[in-house]
Structure 1
Amino acid sequence: MRIALLGYGKMGKAIETIALERGHSIMLKVSSASENFSLQNCDVAIDFSLPSSAVANISKCLEAGVPVISGTTGWLDDYDDIVSLCNSKEGTFLYASNFSLGVNIFFELNKTLAKLMEKLPQYKVNIEEIHHTQKLDAPSGTAITLANDIIDETNYEKWTLNTPKQNEIGILAKRIENVPGTHDVNYDSAVDSIQIKHTAHSRQGFALGAVIAAEYVHDKKGVFTMKDVLNIS
């Protein structure tokens, strides 16, 4: 595949390394939100830019008929508009809050556990996420996905970064220098606690998942998720 990298920070560089190892070519590297670029000769675009750039980047790809996957978080208020644009252009789009294959298995464990815990109101759930200080959004997109999946399976109504009220899931977002990305889902009762946890050891897992997702969508039409890539029903 001939790949456009929209966002050439640490993740973009990690994706480049994995893509080249898997026999792909990098045709375009966009490092600035103001950069004018052409997607000519690109088979697929991978967006890991900034929240302020993501919508414009994704829209430009869809307008040009180039399949695009995005791992940028913090722009999802416009998600439905992007889906509508994709459908109107008969294009190809995949968004994931986290491309790590392990995290996407973790998402499925989280949903299964939430279904079980829904019948046990004595357990109260909370989520903790830890990232490096360069991460701009809080909570992380991964933590939001975890919380929303719990909400879908239980009587919880919303998540909050503040002290949670009844039927709210509290998310504690920590930003610490030089730490791996970590997500904990905790169910606490008076007698015991249940915890599931994912810890990322490097960016390589996210980069590999992004390239695999690009390989999956580049010859397809429609709106996809990592569940499609991993064939999770």
Structure 2
Amino acid sequence: MQVKDCTFLITGAASGLGAATAERLVAAGGNVVLCDMNNSVTEHAERLGDCAAACIADITSAEQMQQAIDEAVRMGGAGGLSGVIHCAGVVSVAKLVDRNGNPADLESYAKTININLVGTFNVMRLAAAAMAKNTPNESGERGVIINTASIAAFDGQVGQCAYSASKAGVVGMSLPAARELSRHAIRVIAIAPGVFETPMMSEIPDEAAQALAAAVPFPKRLGKPDEFAQLAEQIITNPMLNGEVIRLDGGIRMQ
């Protein structure tokens, strides 16, 4: 599959990994529908020009995500929706038992699972249903789904029970989804980023961010959003990448 003249839906596209991916795909000649709950996604789409459109939608809503998918299908014209790069998600930190002996909040845990895991399933099922209707391209492909996991799925730290579980679920869905959707010629891949320069990272103290950067073997820094976008583009264009989870982390293993 090529990026040029194909249409892609990108969630979490107002900033960070999603915004960088939108920029890279547009630069490569693709069309993009930027999806986010943040109204700034509209401004980002306007900056990208006529090949970009914006859609305000909650990834956990079946109705809102169907509207986003429909918009992408319309933009794709005869080619329909060629791919989804799903970057939307949240980070949560909470110990099972806090310093005062109180148990973790159950609603907070369920919210993280609902957004990161159920939301991913929601986007994936709706996108797959749309792409299954596509006419196969010259290489026989109908579409590609790229989900965002995390190294926390493998190296979860203290306080990351909810976040790690949600991202481990994304990892766990990758292979069975790829196997199932193979009959529709749709590939499924997950990227598991390490520590990246994103708005999520800005929520932690600078000292902690510097410590994380120092823990990366090489390059000894935080990842850049465009490096995620570069891998997403390579996944789109390489048909043998399927059913896999790719760590993008500079070799870091969290403690």
> Which TM-score band (shorter chain)?
0.3 to 0.5
Structure with more of its chain in strand, by fraction = 1
For normalisation by structure 1, the TM-score amounts to 0.40
Structure with more of its chain in helix, by fraction = 2
